Structure 1
Amino acid sequence: MNLVYLRLEILRILRSPQFALFTIAVPVGMFLLFGSLFGGDPEPGGVPTIVTTMLNMAAYGSMSGALFTGTRVATDRTDGWQRQLRLTPMRAPGYLAVKVASAMAMALPVLLTVFVAGALYGVHLSVEQWVLSGLALWLGVLPFAVLGLLLGLYGKGDTVGAMTGALMLPLGVFGGLWMPLAFLPNWMSEVAHFLPTYWLGRLGAMPIGHGSGLALAAGVLAAWLVLPALVVLRRFRLDPGKVV
């Protein structure tokens, strides 16, 4: 992996005002909204809803940060930047690795910001629970980084943002991240089990004793990682704007 290119890619993202406004501010605002609506209600397992809401919004925000890597990939293709990179020693695997790594890097500050908002709002967890939940959520967004890469390879610079937003809405709502599934119709709970966002939320909640099935959650997320990755590799080989 080209670390210089990775650093430049991260700086490019951090200098974008859209990153702070949409990727960080939106999940924090949603946490404050849903926390005020449902925060006082305990869930069936006894865990305060405010804790689950915080973890879900951290998952949603991290997912958003990872998915939006597709906008930068599409812009690279539209502007011809990928073709320019063909003149450098960077090879195709290195380009893809930098994009995925930058997506993971951008997911981290979103996650930490929601956690800080939760702590200020009154969420109390042990140090071990904070660390394990944060690590589980951060590693769990890797499939979404690859999904974002896939969107960028199929979309265009002026359309991939809309495509990403259209994907985030059902993933967030039907995956049970916007509000606890206990407050939603039963059929939505059934749909949630097929979505990676549901398992991402489950993964983040396990360190606080809310839910089980680590192997199943990891397996589902791994499937959502491998299958899109195979499509990404195939698409990238056929893309005329690729780095060879």
Structure 2
Amino acid sequence: MRAMMAQCKAEIIRTLRNRRFLFASVIMPAAFYFIFTGIYGDNIQVGNVNWKSYYLMSMTIFGVVGGSLSTVSIRFAQERSQGWVRLLRITPLPDGAYIFSKIASQSMLNLGTIVLMFLIGALGKGVALPFTVWVYCGLWIWLGAIPFLALGTLLGTIRSVELVQVVSQVLFMGMSLLGGLWMPVEAMPKGMRELAQWLPSYRFGQGAWSLVE
């Protein structure tokens, strides 16, 4: 257990030093949040939800999905190609601890992303929600990221690092755009609205949006 905790700590430190992770999970979601709430104003409504609250949930999910899908898959692929996995097999680290430490450390980083984005919304844009709603939304987004972590791990098994980078980015951006994270589904053409219903990113967002109504 001590070795596993040490591996988790090392993974968190390494990921925080990764500029790609910081850009996709923190900088880009925060920038998009301020840009689009500034363009459209804070007081418009999306259904029964205030825009700045609605888009805060969208961008928080956007950041969490970026870390869970793109960061995890690319790191897995890179380390496999560099022989890091083979090297770990001759260490005392238990079987499966490598994968567990990746998922556990990314889950902790996702929690940090959620807290940071919520603070940005509350302090930077004055988003005011009941304490229980903050907690429920945070738990929903944190636990809802697990399938994307699993998908990121699966993509990381692809041998070509370049292919993993392309596939993960296409999936990440495609699901974010078509799933209603960048813009409300209500603003999309009919065909795109129907497509969004089938995407996991839309269902992920829908749970958080419904909690802030």
TM over 0.5: yes
Instruction: Deviation per CA, 1:153-209: give whole Å up to 9, x if none.
Output: 115334423322111111001111111111111222211121111111112223223
1:103 aligns with 2:109: no
Partner of 1:55: 57
Q: How many angstroms apart in 2 are the aligned matches of 1:193 and 1:141? A: 18
Partner of 1:225: none
Shift of residue 121, structure 1, vs aligned partner: 0.9
Please report the TM-score for the alignment, with normalisation by the length of structure 1. Answer: 0.80
The secondary structure found in structure 2 opposite 1:153 is coil
1:116 aligns with 2:119: yes
Shift of residue 74, structure 1, vs aligned partner: 0.8
Q: How many angstroms apart in 2 are the aligned matches of 1:77 and 1:109? A: 27
1:173 aligns with 2:183: no
1:142 aligns with 2:146: yes
1:29 aligns with 2:31: yes
Matched residues, number: 208
Structure 1: 5+ residue runs without aligned partners? 210-244
Instruction: Deviation per CA, 1:46-77: give whole Å up to 9, x if none.
Output: 21122111101101111111111111111110
Partner of 1:202: 206
Divergent runs of 4+, >4 A: none
Shift of residue 143, structure 1, vs aligned partner: 0.6
Shift of residue 36, structure 1, vs aligned partner: 1.9
Q: How many angstroms apart in 2 are the aligned matches of 1:206 and 1:64? A: 22
CA contact (8 A) 1:28 1:113 kept: no
Higher mean displacement: 11-20 or 69-78: 11-20
Shift of residue 43, structure 1, vs aligned partner: 2.0
Q: How many angstroms apart in 2 are the aligned matches of 1:182 and 1:86? A: 50
Q: How many angstroms apart in 2 are the aligned matches of 1:109 and 1:192? A: 28
1:85 aligns with 2:85: no
Q: CA RMSD in A?
A: 1.6
Q: 1:98 is aligned with what amino acid?
A: S
Q: Report % sequence identity.
A: 31
Q: How many angstroms apart in 2 are the aligned matches of 1:116 and 1:189? A: 31
Query: Cα 1:155–1:41, aligned 2, differ >3 Å: closer, same or farther?
Result: farther
Q: How many angstroms apart in 2 are the aligned matches of 1:203 and 1:78? A: 37
Shift of residue 88, structure 1, vs aligned partner: 1.9
Q: How many angstroms apart in 2 are the aligned matches of 1:189 and 1:93? A: 40
Query: Cα 1:155–1:35, aligned 2, differ >3 Å: closer, same or farther?
Result: farther
Q: 1:22 is aligned with what amino acid?
A: A
CA contact (8 A) 2:54 2:212 kept: no
Partner of 1:19: 21
Structure 2: 5+ residue runs without aligned partners? none
Please report the TM-score for the alignment, with normalisation by the length of structure 2. Answer: 0.90
CA contact (8 A) 1:133 1:206 kept: no
Partner of 1:188: 192
Partner of 1:4: 6
Shift of residue 113, structure 1, vs aligned partner: 2.0
Q: 2:37 is aligned with what amino acid?
A: G
